[in-house]
Amino acid sequence: MNLDDDVTSATVGLLRELITNACVNDGSPDSGQEHRSVATLERFFHGSGLSWEIVEPHPGRTSLVARLAGTDPDAPALLLLGHTDVVPVAPGWQHDPFGAELIDGVVWGRGALDMLHLTASYAAVLRNLAASGTRLRGDLVFAAVADEEAGGRLGARWLVENRPELVAADAVLSESGGVPLSVDGAVLGVTVTVGEKGISTRRLDVSGHPGHASTPWRSSNAVITAAEAVGRIAAHPIAPVVDELWPQYVAALGVEPGLAEALVDPATIDGALDRLGPLAGLAHAVTHTTVSPDVFRGGDAINVIPARAEVELDIRTLPGFSPTTSTSTSPRRSARSPTASGSAGSATTRRRVRRATRSCTARSARRSRPRIRALQPSRSSPPGVPTAATSGSAGSPRTASACSRPAGSTPTSVACCTAPTNGSTSSRSVCSCTRSIAWCGAHSADRSASRTLALLSPASGDAATRRRSGRLRSGRRAAG
């Protein structure tokens, strides 16, 4: 067996064990339990000569960081950043999602692609270098972090804020750093990621009136009202944004001139996206703020009209949003593209988001009016995302006011997504919430800087003070 075969075999074996550990992260603090995969990595590194450190900001939510010192202290350091948690499993799998079956040269399982294959590959390469005595000029750092699937608050983010010295590096390799440009099966190149979209999760709470399901006529059914709201959200047009990077991407695709011209014009890009085939979804995502209703809860019993329903929204904002961002009913070109830090340059990047439906028809006016509470941060929202404190009430129609923001507030302290408080009809409340979504998508909780790039600029401050904010498992550990 040659060296490549040895590393490949080690990678596949480690990948399969990481999959079977089933570190499922549903967004709650006690989920994930990545300590299982950290224990796997400790066994994997044993005897290699590597040293590593383990941190545990919350019981069971552990991350491992190993560093292979280079020969030149002044040479650039490279961080290999992987995560060990995976998202929950939905029905419909052909194979056991945590069985890690190897079939016809393919490993099947939850997380095999996102991103346990890379985490295993990074670990195998690092172990091979350490065991062989090979040293690079600069340090090679490996981090297997927890909680990536829920924003990294207990993983990469915690490390950067509390132990930045562990992950200090000049460059980072991680997942989704670039996307292959493939047209008609031919790979024309690979993109370079210079920023990430921000995350601004919200929860829509709807209240109705319970009753017996045998008499549903003109009832106030929270599920029906929530479904109408979701329909309006899905139909809400969000204007595209064309910055100075997007035309370069289109040029690299090498598409025919007519299509290329349509793709770089904000007025025609939406109609041209389908012609990109498999790249259409990606092209839409990098030119639009997006809103995806992903979780719906409602009702307690099959024979009871539901009095409450919840919808969780995954809102992804484009890099460069700020409190000065304006909204518009028409698409616009941005003034500047994001810089490598994921923020706008010296001039604020303008992001225009189409206002929600300008007129609301009272489609449910004949029903008893349920209440729609304002959009709230999802239970899985990152810290700092504002809460909404107002609810709509039944009564006569009134004009929905735009979301308000305290003067001088920053994107992370903005108080938005407030539904009207007096005399709003059900349908007007839905419209108001839709409008609020558009506003919040542009203005709330700007986390547009890339997580990867954030590691290159750790927060300043007293490390000892930051260290006390989480629990650490003691000491550096040396293998062998």
Q: pLDDT digit string (tens) for 450-459?
A: 222 222 223 3
Cα–Cα distance, 337 to 351 (Å, whole number): 11
What integer is the mean pLDDT of 82-102?
A: 96
Q: Which helix (H) or strand (E) holds 414?
A: none
- In 3D space, the residue among 167, 83, 78 whose CA is nearest the CA of residue 117 turns out to be 83
Other C-beta atoms closer than 10 Å to the C-beta of 448 total 24
What integer is the mean pLDDT of 106-119?
A: 96
What pLDDT score does 332 carry?
Answer: 54
Provide the pLDDT confidence category of residue 240 given band limits of 50, 70 and 90. very high
Q: Which long-range contacts (CB under 8 A, 24 or more apart) does 74-77 make?
A: 75/136, 75/137, 75/138, 75/139, 76/138, 76/169, 76/170, 76/171, 77/138, 77/139, 77/140, 77/141, 77/168, 77/169, 77/170, 77/171
Cα–Cα distance, 146 to 62 (Å, whole number): 6
Indicate the range of 310-324, 328-342, 455-469 predicted with least confidence.
455-469
- What percent of the chain has pLDDT above 90? 55
What pLDDT score does 206 carry?
Answer: 96
Cα–Cα distance, 232 to 105 (Å, whole number): 45
What pLDDT score does 321 carry?
Answer: 66
Measured over the CA atoms of residue 366, residue 371, residue 377 and residue 378, the dihedral's sign is: negative
Indicate the range of 14-18, 228-232, 392-396, 476-480 predicted with least confidence.
392-396
What integer is the mean pLDDT of 390-410?
A: 31
**Could you give the angle at the alpha carbon of 128 between the alpha carbons of 112 and 457, nearest 5°?**
70
Top-confidence range, 15-19, 183-187, 419-423, 427-431: 15-19
- What percent of the chain has pLDDT above 70? 66
What pLDDT score does 37 carry?
Answer: 98
Per CATH, the architecture of 198-239+288-443 is what? 2-Layer Sandwich (3.30)
* pLDDT value at 71 more than 50: yes
Top-confidence residue, 22 or 377: 22
Q: What is the pTM of this model?
A: 0.60
What integer is the mean pLDDT of 460-468?
A: 35
What pLDDT score does 461 carry?
Answer: 35
- 3-177+450-478 and 198-239+288-443 share one CATH topology? no
Distances (CA, A) of 287 to 130, 131, 331: 43, 46, 11
SS3 143: strand
What pLDDT score does 195 carry?
Answer: 79
- In a 10 Å sphere around its CB, with 0-12 CB exposed, 13-18 middle and 19+ buried, how is residue 274 labelled? exposed
Domain ranges of the chain: 3-177+450-478, 198-239+288-443
Cβ–Cβ < 8 Å for 266, 240:
yes
- In a 10 Å sphere around its CB, with 0-12 CB exposed, 13-18 middle and 19+ buried, how is residue 51 labelled? middle
What pLDDT score does 175 carry?
Answer: 87
Provide the pLDDT confidence category of residue 3 given band limits of 50, 70 and 90. low
The per-residue pLDDT for range 255-271, each reduced to its tens digit, is 899 999 999 999 999 99
* pLDDT value at 249 more than 80: yes
What pLDDT score does 76 carry?
Answer: 97
- In a 10 Å sphere around its CB, with 0-12 CB exposed, 13-18 middle and 19+ buried, how is residue 225 labelled? buried
What pLDDT score does 2 carry?
Answer: 57
Per CATH, the architecture of 3-177+450-478 is what? 3-Layer(aba) Sandwich (3.40)
- Mean per-residue pLDDT over the chain, rounded: 73
Top-confidence residue, 408 or 413: 408
Top-confidence residue, 264 or 436: 264
Cα–Cα distance, 293 to 278 (Å, whole number): 22
The per-residue pLDDT for range 134-168, each reduced to its tens digit, is 999 999 999 999 999 998 999 999 999 999 999 99
* pLDDT value at 437 more than 70: no
- In 3D space, the residue among 159, 143, 128, 108 whose CA is nearest the CA of residue 49 turns out to be 128
